[in-house]
Structure 1
Amino acid sequence: FLSPIVYIYGEIARNTPLLIQLFFLYYGLNEIGLSALECAILALGFLGGGYMSQSFLLGFKSLASIQRESALSLGFGPLKMMYYIILPQSLSVSMPSIGANVIFLLKETSVVGAIALTDIMFVAKDFIGIYYKTTESLLMLSLTYLIALLPLSVLFVILERFFKKKVA
């Protein structure tokens, strides 16, 4: 029942630009009265959910059905099977794409300035407009993203190794 709905949601989320999603929420549905921050969170969540659902789906599909059958034959209940067998193996497969999706979403936050929400890209553009220091502003912007995203990248490499060891 839910499979077609999740499929359609994933296709819509992944195949529409974040900017269009933001404009739709902020300008198209302004009767609801959402703030710019709320629209940004909803749009990023909608986009991220579409990508993450595919990451988890591919992780679950990577498991052979014999894994589930073996767990059931050993007397595992559905929750115990999910916790001890399915999740560790599917996360070891999904972790690289989950990490890439998280980093992608954090980089996509630079688009939220289009609905008058201040982010680091917005601040850099203001600095360029006031002081005409384009190179310095863009260099600082790049360094800010690197400082924010490199530790995250390292964290996901560690998580990937952890789940691979747990499965092995």
Structure 2
Amino acid sequence: MIDVLPHYKTALWLTLKLAFIGIVFAILVGLICSIIQYFKIKALSNIVQVYLEIARNTPLLIQLFFLYYGLPKVGITLSGEVCGIIGLTFLGGSYMAEVFRSGMEAVAKSQVETGKAIGLSNLQLMRYVIIPQAFSYSVPGFSANCIFLLKETSVFSGIAILELTNTTKNLMGIFYKTNEALFMLVVGYLIILLPLTIFLTWLERRVRHAEFGN
């Protein structure tokens, strides 16, 4: 276990990097989609709805297979890491969009109407009225999605990315030490997920004090 520790260290950092980039992009995609849905922007709303249905109703592994094995058939070749980030963004954006949309709709309509009455534009409404309050409502779902997406990096092994799960499979095939390898895999995910869970739980309690009207 000590001898293979450097392999797990490298895999852990790769898992963290891909998850972080994917989650950041997923947040951006989700926020844009939720704003389009909230204001019911014509044409774009239909496109967003189609995207959400496709993303939420297809497994991440199938999406990765399409990106990694399918696109080269039409002359588009992407690295495994790029495919992983795109796949995580595509799937995560759809879940984040639903979380942010529900948070926006939880904001009192009276406050939105008041903002319009004093002449705020839609952009100003989002910045000063809706998003600050919607954030506090969205934190529980947002936290769950972050943890979910981080765990979904385990399917990256299907496209030959040497993250934690794939590294474990390779080491099991080389040394035939199944129990030790799986134990290291569990420890690796605990190192990532436990601090994140504690931080997100603290954040959820913290932002509850910022809710308006309570």
Q: TM > 0.5 between the two?
A: yes
| Partner SS, residue 158 of structure 1 | helix
Give distance in 2, aligned partners of 1:64 and 1:71. Answer: 11
TM-score w.r.t. structure 1 length? 0.92
Equivalent residue pairs, number: 168
**1:53-109 CA distance string (max 9 Å, x none):** 111111112223212012233454444432332112211111111111111111111
Q: Does 1:33 align with 2:55?
A: no
Residue pairs, 1:75-154, within 5 angstroms: 75-154=119-198
TM-superposed deviation, 1:52? 0.7
TM-superposed deviation, 1:133? 1.5
Residue pairs, 1:52-71, within 5 angstroms: 52-71=96-115
Give distance in 2, aligned partners of 1:53 and 1:34. Answer: 26
Q: Does 1:16 align with 2:58?
A: yes
> 1:42 is matched with which residue?
86
**1:110-135 CA distance string (max 9 Å, x none):** 11111111111011111211222211
**1:38-64 CA distance string (max 9 Å, x none):** 111111110111111111111112223
Compare 51-60 and 131-140 and name the one that shifted more.
131-140
**1:5-62 CA distance string (max 9 Å, x none):** 1111111111100110001011110121111111111111101111111111111122
Highest RCO, 1 vs 2 (Cα 8 Å, sep ≥ 6): 2
Q: Does 1:163 align with 2:207?
A: yes
| Partner SS, residue 57 of structure 1 | helix
| Partner SS, residue 167 of structure 1 | coil
Unaligned runs of 5+ in 2: 1-41
Structure 1 or 2: more helix by fraction: 1
TM-score w.r.t. structure 2 length? 0.73
Structure 2 residue identity aligned to 1:107: K
**1:136-157 CA distance string (max 9 Å, x none):** 2111111111110111112222
| Partner SS, residue 107 of structure 2 | coil
Q: CA RMSD in A?
A: 1.6
Identity of aligned residues (%): 50
Compare 63-72 and 108-117 and name the one that shifted more.
63-72
Unaligned runs of 5+ in 1: none
Give distance in 2, aligned partners of 1:150 and 1:123. Answer: 21
Structure 1 residue identity aligned to 2:69: Y
Give distance in 2, aligned partners of 1:108 and 1:4. Answer: 28
Give distance in 1, aligned partners of 2:53 and 2:164. Answer: 29
> 2:116 is matched with which residue?
72
Change (3 A) 1:76 1:165: farther
